[in-house]
Copies of this chain bind each other. A is one copy, B any other.
Amino acid sequence: MEFSIYSDKKFMESAFLEAEKAYEKKEIPIGAVIVYQNRIIAKSHNLVQTLKDPTAHAEILAITSACANLDSKFLSEATMYVTLEPCTMCFGALVLSRLKKIVIGTSDPKTGACGGKLDLASSNLYNHKIEIEKGVLEAKCSGILKEFFRNLRIEKSKQNENLEINLN
């Protein structure tokens, strides 16, 4: 059990490092890793702005990468560590991949599909059920998001000030 908590934190740290990479690219800082047999087989971070692709969430990119790594369309024995609760698209993709477990850093009350905004994860609508664990490195995973959006607001308010100066 202690080992499990230790490795949960360790793997979420890796997901967090991915979120930091997204942050540096001015992407919403979300990262994910997929673990199989106690080994990371895929790492990814949000690339929606960079790729101009709304499907380029960390989770989707990680699933594609993990499946390529295992040469399988199923991830039945794998666990995803993701810094923010998956949205509807990503939860749907994780069900399709038959992933065993999702470990979530912080909840998403705006778009989370595992209880944050809606709860697809506990519904009996799907032919595959995924274990859900929440709150691993929560402060860190939510902290980087808060910082990102705070900076974004400051930047926007500066732009508006400059616009006003130019208009005057």
Which size class do A's interface residues fall under? 35 or more
CB-defined contacts of A159 to chain B, threshold 8 Å: none
Interface presence of A30 (CB below 8 A): no
Q: Taking the nearest CB of chain B, how far is it from the CB of A102, in angstroms?
A: 14
A binding-site residues for B, Cβ under 8 Å: 48-49, 52-56, 60, 63-64, 67-68, 71-74, 87-93, 95-98, 111, 113, 117-118, 120, 123, 125-126
**Distance in angstroms between the alpha carbons of A90 and B89 in the assembled complex:** 6
**Distance in angstroms between the alpha carbons of A68 and B60 in the assembled complex:** 17
Chain A contact surface mostly: loop
With contact pairs A63-B55, A67-B54, A96-B54 given, residues A120 and B73 touching in the complex (Cβ less than 8 Å): no
**Distance in angstroms between the alpha carbons of A90 and B93 in the assembled complex:** 8
Q: Is the CB of B93 within 8 A of A54?
A: yes
CB-defined contacts of A68 to chain B, threshold 8 Å: 52-53
**Distance in angstroms between the alpha carbons of A60 and B96 in the assembled complex:** 13
Q: Taking the nearest CB of chain B, how far is it from the CB of A149, in angstroms?
A: 16
Q: Is the CB of A73 within 8 A of B97?
A: no
Q: Is the CB of A92 within 8 A of B97?
A: no
Known contacts A52-B67, A53-B67; 12 further A-B pairs (Cβ under 8 A): A52-B71, A53-B64, A54-B67, A55-B64, A88-B91, A88-B92, A89-B90, A89-B93, A90-B92, A91-B92, A92-B92, A92-B113
